């Protein structure tokens, strides 16, 4: 039960990130940089509090995991430019759930019974259906279709980064408390390398430190949940908070959509959440 609660803490925190970062302003570069600075501040505080032992392996794996994260987060923020918050959040979540579940099942063997395989397969079907619903365009407008394709490609790159960030920690069984500082340093390094060309050192980067603190809260919940309930379950539950950013994009960022589109996006979110919950019971 503690593992489930930790994963749900991540859900609430991460479900708010895309919406919060857009309310705070800035482009994907300043948002990514600010988020990583906030994450590093959080990591330093946690390190001082816990004083975990950091071996060479923990430093190396945590740092590389952070680099993967920076790739994932920058491109998730970047996808908003093409898709908007209301589409980016559920589509990104669906792709990440599929990616992490694949590794959880085929690499870490987390579905051990026929029942879990059946439930898990149904869950993935719901997630895919939800992602498709949120991505449907309203008309045959070529400009909208082009933006959707660009956004989807950016999200694929984002998904690769996010999946790598989660899987590395699980692969090497790195303790969540120990991983946070090396990971945060890797995140900031990756953010600097990916954004330095565009000089994102502005007020929006400072504002998005708040986004980093919010993200870090969810990250700690996920890292502590991984060894308790596994990758497929913990990451799946951690993504069920997407409805926060999706509703925020639809109703508070005034992203223009028809009533039909709004209902499709909301239905897609519900299907993805239902799939995530079903994945959560496969480990029981």
Residue 141 has pLDDT above 60, yes or no: no
Please give the Cα distance from 225 to 215 (Å, whole number).
15
3-class DSSP assignment, residue 27: coil
Find how far residue 161's CA is from the centre of its chain. 10
Predicted local confidence at residue 58, as pLDDT? 95
pTM score, whole prediction:
0.84
Give residue-wise pLDDT tens across range 175-203: 878 889 999 999 999 999 999 888 899 99
CB-CB contact of 138 with 258 (8 Å): yes
User: In the chain, what is the greatest distance between 2 CA atoms, to the nearest angstrom?
Assistant: 57
Please give the Cα distance from 242 to 19 (Å, whole number).
10
CB-CB contact of 204 with 83 (8 Å): no
Give residue-wise pLDDT tens across range 4-59: 888 888 888 988 888 899 889 999 999 999 999 999 999 999 999 989 999 999 99
Looking at per-residue pLDDT, the higher value among 144 and 73 belongs to 73
Give residue-wise pLDDT tens across range 226-257: 778 776 677 677 777 777 777 787 777 766 66
CB-CB contact of 237 with 8 (8 Å): yes
Residue 275: count other Cβ atoms within 10 Å of its Cβ. Answer: 29
How is residue 266 written in tokens? Answer: 């909301």
């Amino acid at each position: 039960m503690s593992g489930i609660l930790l994963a749900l803490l991540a859900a609430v925190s991460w479900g708010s990130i895309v919406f919060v970062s857009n309310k705070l302003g800035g482009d994907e570069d300043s948002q990514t940089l600010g988020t990583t600075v906030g994450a590093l501040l959080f990591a330093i505080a946690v390190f001082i509090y816990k004083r975990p032992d950091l071996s060479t392996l923990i430093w190396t794996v945590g740092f590389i995991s952070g680099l993967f994260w920076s790739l994932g987060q920058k491109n998730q923020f970047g996808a908003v430019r093409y898709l908007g918050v209301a589409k980016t959040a559920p589509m990104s979540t669906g792709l990440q759930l599929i990616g992490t579940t694949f590794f959880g099942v085929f690499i870490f063997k987390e579905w051990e019974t026929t029942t879990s395989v059946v439930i898990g397969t149904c869950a993935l079907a719901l997630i895919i259906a939800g992602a498709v619903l949120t991505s449907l365009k309203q008309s045959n407008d070529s400009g909208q279709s082009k933006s959707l394709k660009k956004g989807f490609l950016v999200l694929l790159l984002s998904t690769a980064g996010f999946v790598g960030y989660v899987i590395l920690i699980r692969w090497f069984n790195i303790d969540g408390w120990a991983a946070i500082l090396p990971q945060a340093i890797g995140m900031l390094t990756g953010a600097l390398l990916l954004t330095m060309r565009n000089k994102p050192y502005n007020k929006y980067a400072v504002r998005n430190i708040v986004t980093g603190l919010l993200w870090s809260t969810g990250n700690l919940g996920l890292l502590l949940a991984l060894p308790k309930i596994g990758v497929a379950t913990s990451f799946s539950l951690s993504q069920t908070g997407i409805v926060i950013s999706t509703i925020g994009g639809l109703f508070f960022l005034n992203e223009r959509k028809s009533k039909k589109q709004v209902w499709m996006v909301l239905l897609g979110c519900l299907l993805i959440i239902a799939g995530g919950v079903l994945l959560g019971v496969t480990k029981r």
